Amino acid sequence: MRITTGYLLLIGLTIGLLLTLFSVHDQLETSRKLFHWADVQTTRQPLTSYKPITVTYGKEKVKLYDGLRRDDLTANALPKKVEQTFIAIEDQRFYQHGGYDITGILRAFTENQSTDQKGQGGSTITQQLARMTYLSNEKTYTRKIKEILIAISLEQKYSKKELLTAYVNQAYFANNIYGIELASSAYLGKKANDLTWAEVSYLAAIPNNPTLYDPLRSPQNTEKRQQRILKILANTDTIPKSIKTKEVALSFNKPVIPFPDYIDASVKEAIRQTAAIKKLDYKAAQQYLHQHGATIATYLDSTEQTRAKQSIVALPKEIEGAYVGIDGRTHGVTALVGHKTDLPGQFNRATQSFRQPGSTLKPLLVYGPYLEKTKATLSSPLDGRPVCFDGYCPENSGNRILGEVTLADAIAYSYNTPALRAFSVSFAEGLKAIRPFKFSQWSKQDNAYTSALGGLKYGVSPYELTNAYTTLANDGLYSPASMVRTITLSKGEGTLYRHTVQNDRIWSSRTNQVLRKGLTNVMTYGTGRLGYDARPTYIGGKTGTTNDNKDMWFVGIKDQHIGGIWLGADIPRPFPAEANSTLQVRTWANILR
């Protein structure tokens, strides 16, 4: 009996030992995979390889980090006062731990359990850097574990000085300001190396909670935290207790990104081009450009851009606007305005707003294909009587009843009934002619008679429409425009992208010449006459308004320069007085004066 019991006990111990070994093996394997994951993250996106993207125009250049300005310090240039202050208030054991501080984690865990809230982070500077660079701000224990793993990996790859420098370079200081160097110049008008203890502690107060400690909106909160930081510095013997601090003289100098509408849009275009070339998603392509210190050369004309911005800003308060300028010779976008503000990262109506184009679509969808098919001339007659196709029965402006009109007058006065009859003749040809323009929101529903007058389901953007009109400045040939001339990479890696002209014939030279003459009539005696200018060798254009005058469009050509403009409201509303006075034409003429 005893022998049997002994054998059973031995078998039980053996099974227990095997289960323990298997459990340990599984845990070790899991740990190995987790540490490998963290190593992959920090290898794929090294801290030291994250460089600014440089955007150039003419002889000027702008350096950007994720669309915003940042003046990074190098580890060798990290000011001693900045180093000591952030260590004192964020991570006093920074130079002792290996990326995480178990004491801080346990303290935070205890406080979180007692309050039933995940308010305490217990994060070291390296963990905070890991979160800023690789993770989100969600407050979960899973994210905390990932944060620790990445922090350990970072500590193995970088020196403490490099980690601390990366941290103060990425820290957010409110008001679209990242990094201590830019914060120093923006708020105090000096370099970080020249800061006093009072000034360092004042700026160091902000990143803890940029909303609460915003020095422009809540200066009293910033000052209170500054005093707490000074006490910490004194208690840790970072500064002598006898030091008397002076009040900080705040003088905000907003960091400026010139021409933010255009700069934002050109960087996004460069990222999309990179994604296509390298077969990456958008985020990975953005990282690629930063890691290779890319330079984006643009076609921006600062004079035209400034005039366009001023003209859009000068519009009545209730009217928004967008403008796009394109050089017909290079197919380069010379100006792009999509909002009234001077801040980066805003909704860009030139590229992101899609509205029904009204009669500005007629030359592209109706009259070009009609001329190509029928070989008509501007003196050829069109039936302007009331008409219906597939239940669509449009009226002319002012409910005007027409008889027979010339093609020239139909274009110049933007009549609707003769345009619909012309479209019925070249319906299939019209739908084929506009395919190369690749209007991104064109739907199957738009393959209908309603489109003859620009009644689309979603519409087109000012950028897309102006781009399509370059055909009229290039003998009937179309090539997609671009804001980006070239994308070049640093360290002699060469040119990643170069904008080239790739002509696609939309219609014949003869058709294009007749159309151009028709668009000149628009300017001399038609709906665009308030924009007429006798100086250029050629001038032509087309107006467009939608039902109830909710959208006002004009695309005009001076010699080989094309400018397109849209006016309206984000939530559509009528603007009858402005439409009747062709405000969009007058605004366009002011830009290209």
DSSP single-letter state for residue 73: P
Helix or strand run (H / E) with residue 184? helix 180-188
The three-state (H, E, C) secondary structure of 191-247, written as one string: CHHHCCHHHHHHHHCCCCCCCCCCCCCCHHHHHHHHHHHHHHHHHCCCCCCCCCCCC
Active site residue 493: no
Backbone angles phi, psi at 389, to 5 degrees: -135, 125
Residue of 353, 359, 414, 451 marked catalytic? 359
Bridge pairing between strands 295-298 and 53-57 = parallel
The gap between the terminal CA atoms of the chain, to the nearest Å, is 111
Element (H, E) at 2: helix 2-44
CB atoms inside a 10 Å sphere around CB 484? 22
Separation CA 319–CA 324 (nearest Å): 17
- Distance (Å, rounded) from C-alpha 152 to C-alpha 412? 71
Mark out the alpha helices in 341-435 (DSSP H runs): 349-352, 362, 368-374, 407-412, 417-425, 427-433
Burial class of 321 by CB neighbour count within 10 A (0 to 12, 13 to 18, 19+): buried
Chain position carrying tokens 């690749």: 438
Q: How many Å apart are CA 298 and CA 300, to the nearest integer?
A: 6
Nearest CA among 212, 188, 191 for reference residue 202:
188
Enumerate residues 6+ apart whose C-beta is below 8 A from 44: none
C-beta neighbour count of 441 within 10 angstroms: 14
Whether 404 sits among the annotated catalytic residues: the reply is: no
Q: Do you know the residue count of the chain?
A: 593
**Per-residue tokens: 367:** 């009259």
- CB burial of 202-215 (b: ≥16 within 10 Å; e: otherwise) equals bbbbbbeebeebbb
d(CA 553, CA 531) in angstroms, rounded, equals 13
Residues designated catalytic: 90, 359
